Structure 1
């Protein structure tokens, strides 16, 4: 079992935590030195030095303003913070370039009264010098404007700004001194004023643990709590995911019973077929499944998977559509909403079951909806006069009803990966699996060519006609050719009569190179296989599925239900005419070992038909030999089967037969 790696989420969370911690540590260092890192010496600031006046040389201070540290008695002349301040004062008053006035205040300790008096004197001198500069620059500006001297006006404006800066810095220093602030507070107030920040903000936040401010402590706490919460959520999700994987992986599929010789089969109990109705639900003896090779842990409850891919349960009828006067489409959805509880491919069928007249009746119908549509599944059912379940569905089932279904099953499938193009030939209601393929291939934008050749009795029996016309207009790779057996008195402008060799050759170019799916009544399919062989289509490129009446077993292609099947001298199956004409009543018998019943075995009836008449439980679904639900072990005797698609070589080696196809003229013993 693989687990999702923890690396990426952990790296993100650790990185976020480290970022918060490092930022807090950096902030701690800044708090410890009084935020000195926020105001480095090289930080650009508006110049506090007094501009040169016209009356004084550029390197000398204005008249009446002390210009050197020696002019300020009581101030240290070198070293320490006060020496830095005096250097800043000297540069402010026009001395040699040193540290600016306000940055130098950041390094000063608390001032003594004498030092505060000296700073106040220099601040007033700065205000006086700035006022003189403003007056001189104002006169120069007026003269420049009067004479039209733009350059002179620009220079005068610059001097005005310098004078205003001097006055502003001096008044700010006086105000700070009057309020009794420390030198660093004086400098910080000036910087805040330059940045338009409120001076009411506290200069230093109160310190918390480890010398950190409470803001940093709260930030670190919130970041750590968030990281811990994210880790807890992540590990909780991983624990739930691992538990789900363990639970799913612990579900074991039904094991196969080891092959046993026929002699031992009579003593070994045979398990029931997965996917069949549980014994507590079945009220009819014919509904109890048996005779399966596949073992199950117990009865399969309704709404569960009976074996890989096979689901059994109830679906709700969401809608019913009238396709033709005797054909309806039933749309089924999950009773709980959401997607249908199984997946399928085009060509699969569902098996309906219902209690009708005291007996459990099952019948298979091909899924007609697209496999790309997961919200619902549709089956299109023709009402047969002799069909118990088809009449029940048409006459009794309404929107909102729950129906019992099992599936999906079948091998008559095409998903687009089997060939680059496909030819779909159908007749009557046999169009349903072909329509499922057309809808699906168009939904997935399959690029291959799709040829549909369809035959119906009349335009009134043309199933899905409107939808096919719409799809053909929207998808240029879909080619539909339909022929009506009876089109007189209608507006049909297409071909008439049965599907012919000429129609196939004209409708499908290079048909011999294409895969062919054939579905319809047995007689129609037998005729189509002969035509395809004449057109050069190899037999292994032709896939078939028979449709027929719901009563009894559906006969394989080319064989009618009234024509008895008997063994030829060479062991093959053939019509009764090849043997003596008078067969007489059935002389063979079949013994059902589990049920302990012995009944006559007519040569024209399958093992499944005889079992149903004798109330012997043999489960079934498709009745045409393709699904394998009716697999039964043959203990004695020999049978012939027209269709054996559902049997594997291992099945044949173990004497497994398909009850719906098996017939014989000799005595049989089956494990049922």
Structure 2
């Protein structure tokens, strides 16, 4: 069907018509929409739209980041991955087909590289949090200027990396777009030459050695974004240049942006560590590590790398809280059972450990 483009921008009073459905990965697809009137789409890369979905039990409204770029204004696309317990996404994957029309509101949102011009960017995403990064990367590609973007993405497996082929096509043509993927595990019977494991400080330093010079945009599950923030803070990054968007709760305006109140060690705050096995109590600053305090007290905790990678300094915490930013030297199960790595754990208040 050939449309007669009106030269007018799309307005939310007009429904969107699904024009195409493209599978991306398992349980993930891109839905492309157009305006029946022939209107074009005006938005900022990284923004989102709200769709009115006609579910059997009644209409529900869900927000989805736009994965296409405003540099290609004749259509608009969203990429949906069914999350555990998903209702709207599951309905779209199972039932939304070309020709169907949906009510929509927007575009809206403040998560966009256009709002924070910079010479260098660092995009960090996980899972379907890649969608706004794809929009911003496409915009940079279409701008006609050489981009300087390091694009870091974490996925469960290589086959779960959304937009991988398209991003590699971009990167193969311009040296200014550097792709850095890390996965939890490789696909069966397929070689994976890239990074493996959870994103860490060491990995980030290898992926983007000049990260301190880059404007950071981050999107993914809340625990992932918190881990990224903790990494950057501990590495001395200027967090005024950090921007994030949760794909679970997009923000419409600056006024609605939630405050990020991460707990981090304060040099002037005092703490106390009880080394229970030795019967030694030591006072210190929150910025001191358990390992450093133990050494000053004449106690020996076996250690190796001293930056949370080897796991040699793992000790049991009996009580209290620590701030620990490690590099993969301890498992989530161990942390849940009370184990910490002494070399990268800062005491927050009074802490008791088995040393």
TM over 0.5: yes
Q: Which of 44, 50, 60 is 1:345 aligned to?
A: 44
Alignment of 1:417-436 (within 5 A): 418-436=117-135
For residues 456 and 389 of structure 1, the distance between their equivalents in structure 2, rounded to whole angstroms, comes to 22
Q: How does 1:94-113 map to 2 (within 5 A)?
A: none
1:321 paired to 2:22: yes
Matched with 1:333 is 34
Matches within 5 A, 1:71-82: none
Instruction: Say if 2:146 and 2:174, in contact at 8 Å, map to a contact too.
Output: no
Deviation of the 1:460 alpha carbon: 1.6
Alpha-carbon deviation of 1:385? Answer: 4.2
CA distance 1:416–1:351, shift in 2 (3 Å) = closer
Q: Using the alignment, how far apart are the partners of 2:57 and 2:128 within structure 1?
A: 29
Where structure 1 has 5 or more consecutive residues not aligned to the other structure, the ranges are 1-302, 306-310, 549-622, 632-640, 646-672
1:644 is displaced (CA, Å) by 5.7
> 1:304 & 1:465 partners in 2: Cα distance?
30
Within the alignment, does 1:407 sit opposite 2:118 as a pair?
no
What's the TM-score, normalizing by structure 1? 0.36
Question: What displacement does 1:628 show?
Answer: 5.5
Task: Say if 2:191 is the partner of 1:491.
Answer: yes
Match for residue 513 of structure 1?
Answer: 213
Give the conservation status (yes or no) of the 8 Å contact 1:349–1:408.
yes
Aligned partner of 1:526 in structure 2 is 226
Say whether residues 1:367 and 2:80 are aligned partners.
Answer: no
The normalised TM-score by structure 2 is: 0.67
The 2-side partners of 1:402 and 1:344 are apart by: 20
When residues 331 and 644 of structure 1 are mapped into structure 2, their CA distance, relative to the original with a 3 A threshold, is: same
- Give deviations 1:338-365, integer Å, cap 9, x for gaps: x42x410111101011232343311111
Question: For the Cα contact (< 8 Å) 1:315–1:335, is it kept in 2?
Answer: yes
Contact in 2 for aligned 1:511/1:535 (Cα 8 Å):
no
Contact 1:415 1:441 survives alignment (8 Å): no
Alignment CA distance shift 1:628-1:447 (3 Å): closer
String of CA shifts for 1:515-538, please: whole Å, max 9, x gaps.
000000000000010111122211
Runs of at least 4 residues of structure 1 off by over 4 A? none
Give 1:470's aligned residue: 169
Q: Distance in 1 between matches of 2:116 and 2:161?
A: 29
Root mean square deviation of aligned Cα:
2.4
Larger-gyration structure (1/2): 1
Of the three residues 434, 442, 451, the one matched with 2:141 is 442
In structure 2, C-alpha distance between the alignment counterparts of 1:362 and 1:326, rounded to whole Å: 20
How many pairs were matched up?
252
Note the C-alpha offset of 1:394.
0.7
The answer to whether the 8 Å contact 1:322/1:329 transfers is yes
Give the distance between the partners of 1:483 and 1:446, measured in 2 at CA: 28
* Larger helix percent: 1
Deviation of the 1:469 alpha carbon: 1.1
Q: CA deviation at 1:417?
A: 6.1
Relative contact order higher in (CA < 8 Å, ≥ 6 apart): 2
For the residue of structure 2 that corresponds to 1:384, the secondary structure is: coil
Q: 2:201 pairs with 501, 504, 521, which one?
A: 501
The within-5 A match list for 1:187-586 is 305=11, 311-337=12-38, 339-340=39-40, 342-415=41-114, 418-487=117-186, 489=188, 490-548=190-248
The residue number in structure 1 matching 2:258 is: 643
Counterpart residue number, 2:339 = none
1:166-205 equivalent positions in 2, closer than 5 A:
none
Q: Distance in 2 between matches of 1:357 and 1:462?
A: 31
Measure how far apart 1:488 and its partner are: 5.6
1:398 and 1:333 map into 2 onto residues whose CA distance is 13
Task: Write the distance in 2 (CA, Å) between the matches of 1:416 and 1:386.
Answer: 33
Alpha-carbon distance between aligned partners in 2 of 1:386 and 1:432, rounded to the nearest angstrom: 20
**Unpaired segments of 5 or more residues in structure 2?**
1-8, 261-355
Question: Do 2:10 and 2:42's aligned partners in 1 also have CA atoms closer than 8 Å?
Answer: no
Distance 1:498 1:404, change over 3 A: same
| SS across alignment from 1:426 | strand
Name the SS of the counterpart of 2:240 in structure 1: helix
Deviations 1:388-433 (A, max 9, x none): 2111111111111112111101000113861111100000000000
Local SS of the residue matching 1:418: coil
Distance in structure 2 (CA, Å) of the matches to 1:418 and 1:642 = 19
Query: C-alpha separation between the residues in 2 aligned to 1:334 and 1:516?
Result: 33
Q: State the Cα deviation string for residues 48-83 of structure 1 (Å, max 9, x = none).
A: xxxxxxxxxxxxxxxxxxxxxxxxxxxxxxxxxxxx
What is the distance in 1 between the residues matched to 2:232 and 2:13?
38
Structure 1 CA distance for aligned equivalents of residues 117 and 259 of structure 2: 22
Q: Larger strand proportion, structure 1 or 2?
A: 2
